[in-house]
Amino acid sequence: MELLCLELDRNIRARPDPNLLCDDRVLHSLLTIEERFLPQYSYFKGVQKDIQPFMRRMVATWMLEVCEEQKCEEEVFPLAMNYLDRFLTVVPTKKCNLQLLGAVCMFLASKLKDTRMGTGGFGEVEVEPCSCYAKRLHRVHSEETTLPEDKLALIRKHVQTFIALCATDFSFAMYPPSMIATGSVGAAICGLQLNSSNQSQWGDSLTDLLAKITNTEVDVLKACQEHIERVLVNNLREGRQQQQQQQQQTQRGSSGKGLEELDQSSTPTDVRDVNL
């Protein structure tokens, strides 16, 4: 007897469940409990004596690169950063253990959110952040905001980029996930200028709609969106400066091997000594 194997190297996903995506009670429950799982204060000012903010950013950047190289689900990195911040809020940690903590947080997040067994995923079906994004985009699209159907995938991609950016920056660590999600949606849609005829008025109506969906004050949501846009501008400026520095090193005759090492995921300098 011959065995025929039809397994493919792809992620197997459950179909969208309308009971989860279209029932307002699910979103209301998420909004009710989300603040239970947030850091309540800056742990750099009290609990952590050996870890500085720049070290967290270095580890966060490394974790993001690892998640991208391993092709993890989009939810793995933000959840891992949430685990890391909540742990650092209550447990004093040495800087030599910070990268080890980041690796453990990624593994735990992948067990919960990743669908591939190779990365430790259990393939559990839960209410994921992307489901909330999809619901918000669906309601924005359905309530006469004239979002083009062919742009929804591009909008979602930009939203996921903004969310990863927020997870990397500690200034967003105490923001509720709903505020980061809606702020990212607003920043993505306004940044793409999908309705350039009356951008200002259309952007205000979009912000009002997002604030209504998540029961958030309009001014607070606008401040969050502006904060996201400022962080994006700063990161783009830093990226251009790094590119200019690399070009200068190339012109000075730096070796190609050094440039290749810059593109790879590297261990943060100040947290290299990991105690296993």
What are the tens digits of pLDDT across the range 206-236?
788 888 888 888 888 888 888 988 888 888 8
Average pLDDT over residues 46-60: 90
| Confidence (pLDDT) at 100 | 93
CATH of span 40-119: 1.10.472.10
- What's the rounded Cα separation, in Å, for the pair 151 and 155? 6
Q: What is the DSSP string of 111-122?
A: HHH---GGGT--
Distance of CA 115 to the CA centre of its chain: 18
- pLDDT value for 138: 52
Cα–Cα distance between 230 and 169 in angstroms, integer?
12
For residue 238, what pLDDT band results from cuts at 50, 70 and 90? confident
In this model, does residue 55 exceed pLDDT 90?
A: yes
Of 20, 16, 40, 18, the C-alpha closest to 29 is: 20
Q: Are 228 and 184 in contact (CB under 8 A)?
A: yes
- Please say if the pLDDT value at position 274 is more than 50: no
Q: Which long-range contacts (CB under 8 A, 24 or more apart) does 4-12 make?
A: 11/73, 11/115, 11/116, 12/115, 12/123
Distance in Å from the first CA to the final CA of the chain: 49
pTM of the model: 0.74
Q: Using only the alpha carbons of the chain, give its radius of gyration.
A: 21
What pLDDT sits at residue 121?
41
Condensed to tens digits (0 to 9), the pLDDT of residues 156-182 reads 888 888 999 999 999 888 888 888 888
CATH 1.10.472.10 boundaries in the chain: 40-119, 129-235
Helices (H) then strands (E): counts for the chain: 11, 0
Q: Distance of CA 90 to CAs 44, 80, 86, 168, Å?
A: 11, 16, 7, 20
pLDDT band at 252 (very low <50, low <70, confident <90, very high): confident
Locus of tokens 């950063």 = 81
- Output the pLDDT for position 45: 87
The predicted pLDDT at position 126 comes to 40
Which pLDDT value is given to residue 124? 39
Give the whole-angstrom CA distance, residue 170 versus residue 26: 28
Q: Are 11 and 116 in contact (CB under 8 A)?
A: yes
pLDDT in tens, 115-162: 664 444 433 334 345 445 445 555 555 554 556 667 778 888 888 889
Express each pLDDT in 61-118 by its tens digit: 999 999 988 888 888 999 999 999 999 999 999 999 999 999 999 999 988 887 664 4
Burial (CB < 10 A; 0-12, 13-18, 19+), residue 44, is middle
Residue 271 pLDDT level (bands cut at 50, 70, 90): very low
pLDDT at residue 264 in the model = 52
* 48 close to 95: Cβ distance less than 8 angstroms: no
276 has a pLDDT exceeding 50: no
93: which 2 tokens? 């940690």
DSSP 255: -
How many whole angstroms separate alpha carbon 17 and alpha carbon 7? 24
pLDDT computed for residue 62 by the predictor: 93
Quickly name the fold that domain 129-235 has.
Cyclin A; domain 1 (1.10.472)
Helix, coil or strand: residue 73: coil
Average of per-residue pLDDT across 184-211: 73
